[in-house]
Chain A
Amino acid sequence: MGENDLVLKVTDVSKSFSGVQVLNRIQFELKKGEVHALLGENGAGKSTFMKILLGIHTADSGSILFKGKEVHFKEPYDALQAGISMIHQEISLIPNMTVAENIWVGREKQFYKHGFIDRKAQLAKTRELLESLKVSIDPQAMVKNLSIAGMQMVELVRAVSYHSDIIIMDEPTSALTQSEIEVLYRVVKGLAEDGISVIFISHKLEEVFEICDRVTILRDGHYIETRECAETDMPTLIRLIVGRELNQMFPKEEAPIGEEVLSVRHLCRSGVYEDISFQVRQGEIVGICGLMGAGRTEIMRGLFGVDPVDSGEITVRGNRCKIRSPRDAIRCGLGMVTEDRLQLGGIRILSIKVNMTLVYLKKLCTAKLFVRKREESSRCREMMELMEVKAASVNQAISQLSGGNQQKVIVGKWLMNQPDILILDEPTRGIDIGSKSEIHRLISNLAKKGMAILMVSSELPEVLGMSDRILVIREGKIVAEHNRGDVSQEILIKEEFGAS
């Protein structure tokens, strides 16, 4: 293989966010006309890497050679113009426009005739493009009337219409049926034959063997290996994806496990998750793992009343609870540290104090109305000390804190209310190692004091290290349950991916 065959050559690209190294000297090569899979666990650095390619983020160091020339894109539009386009998991089309209009949106100028858009010419060109790709979609159809697969196909066609050399596809098959997947495979193979290179991000290993030529594996922000698909097999890939030894960072301390506190039976929300049943006992940490999009967060949101559930029964300490809103959940003794710190966790523009006492506030009121301010401040300071929050004062806005400190404030908010059951959704995502182990120690201490804990995490070592019991979620169902020490990372990965 000569250097000329390479469309893209990435050397030593590194990136850190506020002190956390997310990419460490990434290597990547893409040949002309190849379909190249990019594999790795959640948080391995795949999406950050792609965002750097597209110019959404800037690399701290390293070089990107695109068609032999070093490039530094400032925004995705530059990358698109140069010939790199990405098809995201979320559809980014305009629903109330036709297929043809969507494909050429922003580039109508080329169809101008006497200052107006020549719709016939636009339509003809769209037809031509669709036929060349053997895609059977009516160019005059409204995008909102298409299936997800159809919309994805339109995005693909649009990418081709930009004369892209590289098309990046992020889990394109996750929302498709088997026959739609076949069509997508055919189109992707056709693109490759035409000399377009495809970067294929996927969680499904079978599909990698089906359509990819080569595969590159990332793990914890490091480049691991690139292999020819024909020369490797599934167990090898799994071993490469997992790789690391279970490190000793987060051992849970032994805690006496008491009676059952929370029992969930047949929780169901159609199309999202079904028949979810499990129990959590006093002092127990139940870890919940699964791939992104498997329904872990949705189940927790349903349990906590953030989203409605269709059916199911929730019992806390033997009493049936009707949970229709987070207020009900809080009344039943639940607390929830949400996955999305910015959207749901904290109120960024408000102070540590306001955030920390929000749940507990009513119990700090005289005459059920007036906040006892001195007590509020002192309780807040106590909690800050307990949580080791580093901040100038209780009146500092949480937007000025680091991710780790923000998370501690949010955990503190729930602890102040002393829940019986604490749900932690990705409690350590995106925070530095130091804060991470502090949060682990805290969780462990809470269990020791008798709190029942449900912990969702994408990091398997965290799940394995912290949990007394582990539930694996795949496609909205609990597919496996393991006791502490009975399971290895390889088995969990296999169950998450659904590989036999």
Chain B
Amino acid sequence: MKEKNQERRLGQFLVNNKAIVIFLFLAIVLSFATDNFMTKTNLLNMVRQVCVMSVMSVGFTLILASGSIDLSVGYMLGLVGVFCALISKIAGLPVILVLLFSILFGMFLGFCNAFLFLTFKMPPFIVTLSTAQIFRGVTHLLCDGTPVSGLPDAIIAIGQDYFLGIPVQIYIMVIVAVVMAVFLRSTYLGRHAIAMGGNEEAARVSGVHVKRMRYIVYIIMGACVAIAAIIMDGRVASAQPTAGAGMEMDAIAAVVIGGTPLSGGYGNVLGSVFGCLIVGLINNGLNILNVSSYWQWIAKGALIIIAIMLDVQTSSLIKATKKRKA
């Protein structure tokens, strides 16, 4: 009985975390197909490449779980990145204040998104689609369309240094993911966000402060984008105005592959991180196999379709077996 229970729990875990299964499968295939995939350098390289995206995806998990969407995160990353570089270069602020203000700025941008769609009762999809373009324009205005260099060493260290043989950014990514996982699983705010994603009206009737919760979700998203932007700045040792372009789509893909449904009511942070790793794995593997980046885009698109298909198939399969039992 106990064994059976454990078996069932493991089965349920794997169904909920398909991304881990897919990741392991792809990793095994690649390690047989190529010589230099399973090397420490390559693996660390791969994880490092998806750190920025992972931090963003962790925030995006909360957005989707709460039943919302944010299409502005890509260009928001570029804007915060340039903001960060400018305040350290022009204002010459100490690093700690640069980091603090950058994160506050990200939170402010998230607040603006929420303010716009809550105040004017517009769909978040449209609002964030528009603010994305505004962020993009402001970014280019701020830096005149050219990269900003001359970042302080500490920020470059965040993007390039190692601690105990592991890139610093991986620690940051893990910390952000753990904090978010705890937030979603163990705080009443996280629970309220998920309840709101499951059924906004029912959550409101049960006393959830829906409006405030939406602000919180978008502000947290902004903070995650800001952290991702700082890592990005550090990695390339300058702020690129085009840094985050299109990244919102990668984030959606990774989070959905990770098992968080677009319809809300459930959030899987671990899945999102593995979703990012899968995307990284495919890019990395196809690079090693000398496949052109054109094909990589096609592979990414196909992957999203397969992930959603798997999701639909397994849930209908579960339903069917349950019906048969009943």
Contacts and interface: CB of A to CB of B under 8 A. Distances in A.
Q: Do A and B come from one complex?
A: yes
A371 interface: yes
A338 B199 CA distance: 14
A349 B264 CA distance: 10
Contacts of A373: 186
Given A326-B206, A327-B209, A400-B322, A358 B186 contact: no
Contact of B203 (A358, A362, A371): A358
Given A358-B203, A371-B191, 18 more contacts: A306-B204, A326-B204, A327-B207, A343-B199, A344-B202, A346-B202, A347-B195, A347-B199, A348-B199, A349-B198, A358-B206, A359-B206, A361-B191, A361-B192, A365-B187, A369-B188, A373-B186, A413-B206
Nearest to A353: B191
A29 to B, nearest CB: 38
Nearest to A413: B206
9 contacts: A343-B199, A344-B205, A345-B205, A347-B202, A347-B203, A358-B208, A361-B188, A369-B187, A369-B189
B266 interface: yes
Interface in A363-396: 364-365, 369-371, 373
A-B pairs with lowest CB-CB distance, top 5: A347-B198, A330-B207, A347-B199, A358-B206, A361-B188
B145 to A, nearest CB: 43
Contacts of B202: 343-347
B144 interface: no
Nearest to A345: B202
Interface of A: 304, 306, 325-327, 330, 336, 338, 343-350, 354, 358-359, 361-362, 364-365, 369-371, 373, 400, 413
B211 to A, nearest CB: 9
Contacts of B7: none
A325 B201 CA distance: 12
Interface residues of B, number: 22
The interface residues of chain B, by DSSP majority, are classed as helix
Which of B194, B198, B208 neighbours the largest number of chain A CB atoms within 10 Å of its CB? Answer: B198
A283 B199 CA distance: 33
Contacts of B191: 354, 358, 361, 371
Nearest to A400: B322
B78 interface: no
Interface in B181-238: 186-189, 191-192, 194-195, 198-199, 201-209
B74 interface: no
B265 A347 contact: yes
B286 to A, nearest CB: 36
A349 B267 CA distance: 12
Nearest to B263: A349
Contact of A350 (B205, B209, B265): B265
Contacts of A365: 187-188
